[in-house]
Structure formats: C-alpha cells, structure tokens
Amino acid sequence: MIIPLSANGPAMNDYSSPQTCTWCDGCGNHGIWTAIKRALVELKLAPWQVLLCFDVGCHGNMSDKLAGYRFHGLHGRVIPLAAGAAIANPSVPVIAIGGDGASFSEGIGHLVHSIRSNYNMTFVLHNNANYGLTTGQASALTWQGQKMNTAPFGMPEATLNSMDLVFALNPTFVARGWSGNIKQMTAILAAAIQHKGFAYVDMLQACPTYNKFATHEWLLEHCYDANAEGHDSSDFAVARALAVDTSQRVATGILYQAQGVPHFSERLESRKGRETTPVDEVKQVDVAAFTERFV
Amino acid sequence: MNRVSIKIVGAQGQGVNSVGEMCAKGLKRRGYCVFGDREYMSLIKGGHSSYQLDISDTQIRSSCSQADAVVSFNHDGIERNLRDLKPGGILLHQTLQWTFKNPEDQKFLEENDIHVLYLPTEEILRKLNAKPILGNVLITSVVWALLSCFKEELQELVREQFGHKKDLLELNFACIEEGWRYRQEHAEDLTIALPEPDERWKHQLLLTGSQAMGLGIISAGCRVFASYPMTPASPLMTYLADVQKESGMVIKQAEDEITAVQMTVGAMHAGTRAATGTSGGGYDLMTETISLCGISETPLVIVLAQRPGPGTGLPTWTAQGDLLMAVHCGHGEFPRLVMSVSDAEDSFALMMEAFNFAEEYQIPVTVLTDKHTAEALYTVFALEQHGAVRRGRLVTDAKGLSALKSTDRYAPTAPDGISARWLPGSNAPTYCAQGYEHAADGSFDESAANAVAQMHKRMQKMVTLKKALPPPEFFLLSDDGVARQSDQCSALDLLLVGWGSTKGAILDAMEEMQNMRIGYLHYTYLWPLRTERLLELAEQSQKTVLIEGNQQGQLGMLLQQECDVQFDQKILMYDGRSPTVDNIVAALRSSFVQ
C-alpha cells in the first residue's frame, strides 16, 4: 500500500472533531493536542493516512477529540499495540500516546523493549508526573515526598529518572517538549514522525488539578530550547547528560537522534527484498514446498 | 488391528528423540502408518523421557500403553519401563553387567517371557573410534534389524542426514554394520513382527501437530506471529521461525504474553492476518486483551496449547483443562469463538477457519490444542486446504470506501451485529477503534440507551455465528471396519462425546470394538455450542458417555447448561498422560457392562 502525499495537504480543520473537550482548565493536553494536529498538517498527512494509538488516562480522552484512524486500547499497553500495527503496515505512520503512569509502571517493560527493538513508530509520553484520570495518585515520575492521593504523607518511593533509563537503552531518537510551547512541540513531533525507528518524545505537561510541584509556571521558568543554544543532537554522551540533569534547567528540543540505524522490520531476514507490506500479503498460500521435508 | 509398539526410553539429551525420529521416518517410508508420542520432563538434561512409536499397516491415531519392545539408554529406563512390555516382548538395553536385583522384576521377566538383550554400545563405539552420539545410529540399526527391515533403507536415511560429510557418513555406515552383526550374533531368532507394509503410506507426510498447525497458519495467509516461549506452545513458534525465510512471515519473540497478544491485535487492526500462541499461564495474561477485542470488535486468533494446571502444574504433559477458561475468560460480556484441533490434519485445516471466523465476525477466536497434539508425530495424507480466505465485511475497494461514513464502523443497526470494517491508510472517513463503550463512530458515549444498543449489537454476533458454525462431527464404523464421519442417526449401544486430542484414541478404540454399535460425536466448535445433533443421537443411544481430559467434565458442563443433557457415564482423565487406545477400550468395555 503506497500512500501518495497530497499536493495541497490537509488543513487543521480536517482534524477537528465534533466532540467537546473534557480536560481541566489549564491542562497541558490542550497544547499537546494542538501540536499533534499541527505536526500532521505540516507533514501534509491527511487523517486517513495516519494511525494514532491511545493508552488509558487523561490523554486517552483525546481519542475522539480529533480525526484520524485511532485505536484506544488498554492501560499500559499502547506501545506493543502500536508496534504491531507499524510492523503490519510500514506505509502508515503510527503514533502511540501514553501517560507517565501507564508507561513507567504497568507498561514499563513494553517501553524498555520497544526502544531496544527500535520499532518504526513514534511514542509521545504525556508526562504530567501523576495519574490524573484516577484523581491524582503518584506515578513513578512524581517527585519523591509529594503528598498525593493514596500517599497522604508523601510518596515514599524514589523518583524514577526516566531519561536515564531511556538513554541506557541506546535509543535512536529522544526529544523533550513542554505543553506551553506549541511551536516547539510541533517541530519535535514532525521530526519524530519522520524519524526511521523508535522516536521517544517526552512532553512535560501541566496538570493544574493534581500536580502542585511541576506547574505550568515552574515549567515556563525551567524549560529552555537546547537546540537554540547550539546543542549537537548527534552526540550521545552530551545528549544523555543534558537530558538526565534537570536540577537547574530542563533542556528541551531534539536531544538525540541517530540516523541510519535499521529499524525492527529492516532487521528481519525474512523480509529482505520484499516490496509489499504484511497487510498487502493476506492470501491463501500453497504449502506444497514446505511439506517436502516431511515425506 | 496389526499394531506394533516400540518404546525408546532414557535420560533427556541421550538421543531418545533422534532414534525415535529416525525409526519413524524409515518405517513410514517402508509403508507403515506411524504414530509417535513423546514424554519428557521439564528440564534439559537428565530427566526421564520416552519416544513411543506405534506402527501399523492400517490407520492408527494413538499409542498403546503396552509395547512390543523397550529400548533403554540407561539403567533407570530398564527399571521404570520394564512393565510397559507386552508378554514375549524385547528389552534392549546398554547397561554393562546389569542384573535385575528386584525379585519381582525377575519374576515379571520369567512369567512374561521377556527377552533381554544387552548391546555393548560403548565397546563397539570405542572399537570404531566413534563419538558417543553415533550410538544413536548403532541402536537404530539393531532395532531396524529386529524389525526385519532392509539395511539399505537405513543407509539411505543416514545418507540424507550426513551425506555432505564423507567421514561422518562412513562412520555411520560402520555403525549400521555393527548393529546388523550384533543382531545376527545375539538375536538371530528374535523379531519384532511387523505386518506387511502398505504402499499407500510411503508418500504421506510425517509431522507433529505443531508443524501441521504452523503450515495451517502459513496457508491461511497469516503474515505476523508474535509469541512468548511456553511449553507446549513453543514448538509452533520454533517451526514458524525455522521456515520464516521461505514464508516471509514476521516472527516476533515478544518480551511477554501481553506484548505478544497486543502486537497481534495491532497487526490485525492494521489489516494483516496475525496470530499468537501460548499455554494456560500465558493465556491468563492475555485475557484483558481478549476482552478489549470484544468491545473494539478487532479480529484476534490465539492458539492455546493446554498442559495440566493449576499454576505451573505439569508443564510438559497434556490436558484438556482450559476449555472453561477460554469460554469464560475476560471481564464483561462479549462474543467470541472457542474451537479445538484434535490431530495434525485439523491442526492444519482449522487455522484457515479460525482466521476466517475472526475476520468475518470481528471477534477473538481461541484455538485450543494440547501437549499431546502439539508434540505427537502423525502420519497424514497430503495436507489439503479446502477452505479459502474469507474476510467478511472488510472494505478495501475505492468505491466501497468512498461510500463509508465514520458511523458505519459500529452501527448498532446491523441486523446480524456485524459492521463494515476498514483499515488505517484507507482513503475514507476515519473512526476510533474504541475500548470504552462507544457510539457508532467510536466516540465516547456513556448513555444508558447506547450501552444497551451496543451490547445488543455485539452479542447478536453470537447468535449469527452459532447458526453459521458447522455442527459437531459424528463418527461411525463403516462396513470395512474403519471409523469415518457419518450423517446417519441409527440406534447405538454407546454414544461417546468428546473434543480435542482424545479423538485419536477414541476412534482407534472404536475400531478395536467392531462388535459393538458405538458412535462418537466430536466437538470442534466449542463456544457457541450447537446441540441439535447431540440431542438427536442421544435419543437413539442406550448410553451416553462423556470422554474428556479434565477433572470436571468441562464440555459436559457446557452441554448441560445449553441443552440440559445428562451423561450416563464420564471417562475423565487428568493424570497428564496421553490417552491410549487400550485404556479407552478397557473403560468402554466396563461402561458397556455396567
């Protein structure tokens, strides 16, 4: 299946949905939602040309707030769901969207293995550092000691350093944006979707209802555009140090990108030299050649 | 019935499987129907394992619990498997200066006229300056000579395997000569008497249920297989992985069972055919995803290879204990299909149907198999694909796509509950495949009226599906004494009802009991359940007997629930062992007497 890019491309309106938004006032989802639509429009991808997969969480309520082929699956499982689709049809860009609760607790194994497998897809982490939809419990990315729902005396566990984990897995694309900067998020997402391999995009987002520590104002004060300051995104060691250390400022932008690393499907011997996609190949197969060895 | 059974036993890793496989292939090519059954323990080296071959000129589909010959690699096997021998049987062993210390064993030997042969394998190999692995060919050669087969046949088999290595081939041939000489010098008057061979078996296929299922998956146009290793499902993935360059399939060993099933769902949603395979514990982990497919109406095919539970249970043994799990698993109420294979032939043929029903009804389909079917070796006539790919209401043509609306995806107005389905990347209005309760286009809708309408829509598919499913197959003895499928409904002494891998031993047992009017009703499609044929036949039968490989009689429970049938007797097996023909015969004889 070859999808020709239309000459004129879609408009923002093509991605609009008749459904009313249900996020809280000031929720970072509004910004990320807008950036996703803008990135797709800028890439001249019409709604029928993309597949957006959603985890369960506040971000997942986006699943009927925009057009495009969508799959709203189970909590914690969006990455393998999207990876399966990306493997089956490499000609449709696949974007998986999940929260920090799902992706760094229940689904953390999927995240680990998808980075090492380098599936050809984009993963957008809606990182508000808590479980919003279930009313504000601590996630693995909540700051230690924060008082949260079910942790009234403060979260006892250490905070997981998500970027250190991601970089330990030898990723091919790592970016970080924040929900107040739609222009930068749009550019990051466009680059991520065009990346060949697994693109990890960490979107820091305000959760005005439950996150009282990394607020919109805090993010506004701490985030800076590392690319604008001349960061070389091809340098793994520098990128890792920059991504991991958020003690002073928080670097955003395309932090790391390795070009030309074969993605999962390109590594498969069984697929070498095939022009068609698994989706194109569904037909009855004569197994006569396979049965000779059993005679 | 002219059946000969040879049981090869020893520690795992000693070569039990190589000898079994070599003999099986040679005997099939000579003109015999061969049935092979492997038993082994959940470890790599040292545990006790066996490979039994049952050999006949007519069709056989199961093992006999008693063997004409036991070939033992170690002293453990001599003691453990001595009593598996029939009177007059041969015990071929390789343990130096072995004596039966247990007076009971000695008595058994004498009373049953057992011939004990000691093969000095180590000594012969030393003489030939050959590695221990060549003992396998030496032992096979002795067995081959005892079977009065031709030396050239064995040489040909060995040439196929080692022909590219000249030195090794010569050593193998030397081992064959030594085996032949041993028989002449030590057992010239001993023979394992085979019936006359029958030409028709020579060109048939000899393969395991897992290999047949793999071929069925390939034949059905499946392009992605994602799985996590678990006995006895692993041999299926191993086979598909081995032939991936020829098939061009994507074979993915996932990081866990949830990944495996989610990838399968993603790939199916994208529009290819994909499947996953697992055993009970892995299936437990997949059940949330099965429920998701129920509401999102995504086709799914899962192979559930059963072994005895609960817990880790008996990982390398067989069972039919997961039927009720497959029927009832997953939260909420949703349509599904549960079906079961029973041998190599339907392990091949039914995979096409599994994919077809999954796509036509947009439901999760569980295909049950078990350790017995997965690993047994079957002689089968050429695998023929009678089915064709059916994809139901999948819209792919430009005209059809241009007529679609987003609300066609889950339109509750579809009278049979089945909606149009179209794929990401199709130039058409988009929709959301939705795990939440949803309106017709997949948007959230929590209203009471919508919840009822969508539940009705989905569950209507069960009604439609039940009507479309083939009824259970009924087997009767034909005039030539062979058990075959039949449309008849004549008076019966015994009506047997069962499913899955017990079919082989049941059909073989019927053929051993020619003087009785026995019919066997075999359920391939297990949920939804069709009961008309059962009720009709039960009416005509003196006695109804349920035969299953579980403790509760799970199919019986479902049948009772669906049509209030009561079985007069239940033969339930849950010791993990493969059902054998003689044990079924014995149980049926006693039920006839009762």
Contact list in B for residue A84 (CB cut-off 8 A) is: 224, 226, 262-270, 274
Looking at the DSSP bridge assignments, the partners of residue B147 are none
Å between B292 CA and nearest CA of chain A: 7
User: What single string gives the DSSP state of each residue in A9-58?
Assistant: ---GGGG--SSPP-SPTT-THHHHHHHHHHHHHHTT--GGG-EEEE-SSG
Å between A37 CA and nearest CA of chain B: 15
Domain count, chain B: 4
* For A112, nearest residue in chain B (alpha carbons): B255
Does residue B125 share a domain with residue B74? Answer: yes
Task: Give residue B384's pLDDT.
Answer: 85
* Residue B529 near residue B558, CB atoms below 8 Å: yes
CATH number, domain with residue B298: 3.40.50.970
Does B194 reside within a domain?
Answer: yes
Q: Which residues contact B97 (CB under 8 A, 6 or more apart)?
A: none
Contact list in B for residue A284 (CB cut-off 8 A) is: 219-221, 352, 385, 388-389
Q: How far from the centroid of its chain's Cα atoms is residue B153's Cα?
A: 29
Task: Give residue B386's pLDDT.
Answer: 87
Looking at the DSSP bridge assignments, the partners of residue A252 are A225
> Would you state the structure tokens that stand for residue A183, as one six-digit string?
């222009």
B243 in A contact zone (CB under 8 Å): yes
Task: Give residue A1's pLDDT.
Answer: 42
Residue from A52, A56, A225, A49 nearest A122 by CA: A52
Task: Give residue B13's pLDDT.
Answer: 83
Does residue B445 share a domain with residue B554? Answer: no
Does B188 reside within a domain?
Answer: yes
The residue from B173, B201, B229 where one domain ends is B201
Q: Name which of B243, B272, B389 is nearest A290 (Cβ-Cβ).
A: B243
Q: How far from the centroid of its chain's Cα atoms is residue B475's Cα?
A: 19
Rounded alpha-carbon distances, angstroms, from residue A64 to A67, A197, B434: 7, 27, 9
- Residue pLDDT, tens place only, B236-271: 999 999 999 999 999 999 999 999 999 999 999 999
Looking at the DSSP bridge assignments, the partners of residue B447 are none
The whole-angstrom separation of Cα B231 and Cα B233 is 5
Does residue B196 share a domain with residue B93? Answer: yes
B215 in A contact zone (CB under 8 Å): yes
Chain B segment 305-364 residues within 8 A of A by beta carbon are: 352
B210 in A contact zone (CB under 8 Å): no
Cβ A74–B292 below 8 Å, yes or no? yes
Does residue B192 share a domain with residue B46? Answer: yes
The residue from B185, B201, B217 where one domain ends is B201
Cβ B252–A72 below 8 Å, yes or no? no
Residue from B205, B206, B261, B203 nearest B230 by CA: B261
Q: Name which of B221, B245, B267 is nearest A285 (Cβ-Cβ).
A: B221
Cβ A281–B272 below 8 Å, yes or no? yes
Cβ B435–A74 below 8 Å, yes or no? yes
Q: Number of helices and strands (H, E) in chain A? A: 9, 10
Q: Which domain holds residue B21?
A: 3-201
ipTM of this model? Answer: 0.97
The residue from B446, B468, B490 where one domain ends is B468
- Residue pLDDT, tens place only, A84-137: 999 999 999 999 999 999 999 999 999 999 999 999 999 999 999 999 999 999
> Would you state the structure tokens that stand for residue B497, as one six-digit string?
């009802």
Q: Name which of A47, A84, A113 is nearest B266 (Cβ-Cβ).
A: A84
Rounded alpha-carbon distances, angstroms, from residue B89 to A98, B111, B119, B572: 66, 12, 16, 30
Name the fold adopted by A26-294. Rossmann fold (3.40.50)
CATH number, domain with residue B49: 3.40.920.10
> SS3 of B310, please?
coil
Does residue B195 share a domain with residue B214? Answer: no
What type of residue sits at position B132? P
Domain spans, chain A = 26-294
Q: Which residues of chain B have pLDDT under 50?
A: none
Q: Name which of A3, A88, A271 is nearest B274 (Cβ-Cβ).
A: A88
Does residue B425 share a domain with residue B518? Answer: no
Residue-wise over B278-305: b if at least 16 C-beta within 10 A, else e?
bbbbbbebbbbbbbbbbbbbbbbbbbbb
The whole-angstrom separation of Cα A96 and Cα A121 is 8
Residue from A42, A105, A118, A52 nearest A76 by CA: A105
User: What single string gives the DSSP state of each residue in A108-165?
Assistant: HHHHHHHHHHT-SEEEEEEE-SEETTTTSEE-TTSPTT--BBTBTT---SPPP-HHHH
Q: Which residues contact A168 (CB under 8 A, 6 or more apart)?
A: none
- Residue pLDDT, tens place only, B350-360: 999 999 999 99
Does residue B178 share a domain with residue B31? Answer: yes
Contact list in B for residue A90 (CB cut-off 8 A) is: none
Does B143 reside within a domain?
Answer: yes
Rounded alpha-carbon distances, angstroms, from residue B534 to A278, B321, B462, B510, B562: 42, 22, 20, 18, 11
Task: Give residue A7's pLDDT.
Answer: 57
Judged against a pLDDT cut of 70, whether residue A2 lies above it is answered with: no
Indicate the pTM of the whole model. Answer: 0.97
Task: Give residue B46's pLDDT.
Answer: 77
Q: Which helix (H) or strand (E) holds B387?
A: none
Cβ B266–A86 below 8 Å, yes or no? yes
Å between A217 CA and nearest CA of chain B: 32
Q: Name which of A67, A80, A274 is nearest B262 (Cβ-Cβ).
A: A80
Q: At what angle do helices B209-219 and B344-361 cross, to 10 degrees?
A: 40
Cβ A81–B266 below 8 Å, yes or no? yes
Contact list in B for residue A121 (CB cut-off 8 A) is: none
B252 in A contact zone (CB under 8 Å): yes
Q: Name which of B246, B270, B382 is nearest A89 (Cβ-Cβ).
A: B270
Burial class (CB in 10 A: 0-12, 13-18, 19+), A186: buried
Does B386 reside within a domain?
Answer: no
B254 in A contact zone (CB under 8 Å): yes
Judged against a pLDDT cut of 60, whether residue A6 lies above it is answered with: no
